[in-house]
């Protein structure tokens, strides 16, 4: 199974499935995934819904019925301790829809699977593997297409880009004082020194103020640099912590850059020590 954890939602997919699109934030968002052919899975969440979770679900089902789909059955289900409902619609190929309210995160979830290869068993397996509040103490994982790291819950994804041969995610702490950029390149691309340097330097420019230079403080499994003014070295803008992982299955190189105030160096080091390879 392929593990996904994104915007405080985690689930597992069959190994040959891929995430085809994602969007939004921890409050309102979507992840769409599919096998090579024959099915599609959509996971939606929105802030709120505590008072009338079934009302929103019924409206969603009503829209599907207006498209000509007939409701076959409705049953109760339980998702990570939350009571919800599952509805089956359709005639030939079937549409499976489930919904529940997560009081841990104050979000309403709707999950839909449809397509020729969609089945009750596959849908049940995916629903049983969804975690709508995947927190370990005060931290949560971000794991998607070569991106893999654990951050405090208040961090959020500011920008991301997933393309063939390149994955990048830019995270910010709630106070926007700590910046984290992680990017991944296939190994054959990263081994092209100039292409790797160009990618790294382009992303570094997003983090470093103008007229600054990096002064190395430490280099082992991670590298720590002070960010100093080029002309006035006593002016220090903070620290940059960097860690590079060589990943397998598939082979790719993951680079993490953490910019933070010097007084939050330990937090930056902790972030760098909590990165890991993920399925691409």
Question: Is residue 59, in this structure, part of any structural domain at all?
Answer: yes
Judgement on whether residues 8 and 103 belong to the same structural domain of the protein: yes
Residue 254 pLDDT: 98
| Global model pTM greater than 0.75 | yes
Asked if 19 and 48 sit in the same domain, the reply is yes
Residues 37 and 143 in one domain: no
The predicted pLDDT at position 87 comes to: 96
CB proximity list for 25: less than 8 A, separation 6 or greater: 7, 156, 157
97/162 same-domain check: no
Inside any domain, residue 183: yes
CA 230/CA 252 separation, integer angstroms: 34
* pLDDT class of 50 with cuts at 50, 70, 90: confident
Residues 108 and 187 in one domain: no
What pLDDT sits at residue 249? 81
Give CA–CA dist 268/241, Å, rounded. 6
Q: Does residue 223 sit within a domain?
A: yes
Q: What is the CATH number of the domain that holds 13?
A: 3.40.1000.10
In the chain, pLDDT over 70 holds for what percent of residues? Answer: 100
pLDDT score of 91 more than 80: no
Residues 31, 106 within the same domain: yes
> Which CATH number goes with the domain that contains 141?
3.40.1000
Banded pLDDT at 136 (limits 50, 70, 90): confident
Which band of pLDDT confidence, cut at 50, 70 and 90, is reported for residue 21? Answer: very high
Q: Are residues 122 and 18 in the same domain?
A: yes
DSSP codes, the chain: -EEEEETTEEEEE-TT-EEEEEEE-SSSEEEEEE-SSS-EEEEEEEE--SS-HHHHHHHHHHHHHHTTPPEEEEEEEEETTEEEEEEEEESSSEEEEEEEEETTTTEEEEEEEESTT--HHHHHHHHHT-BSS-EETTEEEEEETTEEEEEETT-EEEEEEEETTEEEEEEE-TTS--EEEEEEEEHHHHTSHHHHHHHHHHHHHHHSPTTEEEEEEEESSSEEEEEEESS-TT-EEEEEEEEEEEETTTTEEEEEEEEE-GGGHHHHHHHHHTB-----
* Residue 279: inside a domain: no
Domain residues for the domain of 20 are 2-135
172-201 tens-digit pLDDT: 999 999 999 999 999 999 999 999 999 999
pLDDT at residue 280 tops 90: no
Task: Tell whether 10 is covered by a domain.
Answer: yes
If you search the block for the tokens 């995430």, which residue do you land on? 19
User: Of the residues 100, 135, 170, which one is the last residue of a structural domain?
Assistant: 135
Identify whether residues 210 and 229 lie together within a single domain.
Answer: yes
Examine the domain organization and report whether 106 and 145 are in the same domain: no
Instruction: Tell me what pLDDT residue 93 has.
Output: 78
89, 126: one domain: yes
Clarify whether residues 74 and 7 are in a common domain: yes
Residue 273: band (very low, low, confident or very high) from pLDDT cuts 50, 70, 90: very high
> Does the pLDDT value for residue 51 go beyond 90?
no
- From 135, 168, 195, the end of a domain falls on 135
- 120 shares a domain with 159: no
Identify whether 278 is part of a domain: no
- Cross-strand partners of 112: 42, 97
How confident is the model over 222-244, as pLDDT tens digits?
A: 999 999 999 999 999 999 999 99
Whether 280 is in a domain gets the answer: no
Domain count, the chain: 2
**Among 117, 135, 153, where does a domain finish?**
135
State how far the alpha carbon of 151 is from the alpha carbons of 179, 218, 233, 258, in Å: 11, 23, 31, 12
- Is residue 160 situated within a structural domain? yes
> CA–CA separation, 117 vs 120, rounded Å?
10
């Amino acid at each position: 199974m392929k593990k996904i954890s994104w915007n405080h939602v985690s689930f597992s997919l069959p190994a040959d499935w891929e995430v085809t699109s994602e969007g939004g934030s921890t409050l309102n968002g979507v992840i769409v995934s599919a096998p090579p052919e024959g099915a599609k899975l959509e996971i939606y969440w929105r802030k709120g819904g505590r008072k009338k979770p079934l009302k929103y679900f019924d409206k969603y089902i009503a829209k599907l019925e207006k498209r000509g789909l007939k409701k076959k059955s409705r049953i109760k289900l339980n998702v990570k301790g939350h009571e919800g409902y599952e509805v089956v619609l359709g005639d030939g190929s079937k549409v499976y829809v489930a919904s529940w309210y997560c009081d841990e995160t104050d979000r309403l979830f709707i999950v839909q699977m449809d397509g020729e290869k969609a089945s009750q068993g596959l849908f049940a397996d995916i629903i049983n593997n969804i975690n709508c509040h995947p927190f370990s103490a005060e931290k949560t994982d971000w794991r998607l297409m070569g991106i893999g790291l654990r951050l405090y819950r208040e961090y959020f994804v500011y920008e991301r880009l997933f393309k063939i041969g390149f994955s990048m995610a830019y995270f910010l702490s709630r106070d926007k004082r700590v910046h984290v950029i992680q990017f991944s390149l296939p190994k054959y691309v990263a081994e092209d020194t100039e292409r790797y340097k160009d990618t790294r330097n382009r992303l570094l420019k997003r983090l470093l103020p103008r007229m600054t230079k990096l002064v190395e403080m430490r280099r082992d499994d991670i590298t720590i640099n002070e960010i100093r003014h080029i002309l006035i070295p006593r002016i220090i803008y903070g620290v940059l912590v960097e860690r590079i992982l060589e990943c397998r299955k598939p082979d790719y190189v993951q680079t993490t850059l953490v910019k933070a105030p010097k007084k939050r160096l330990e937090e930056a080091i902790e972030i760098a020590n909590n990165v890991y390879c993920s399925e691409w």
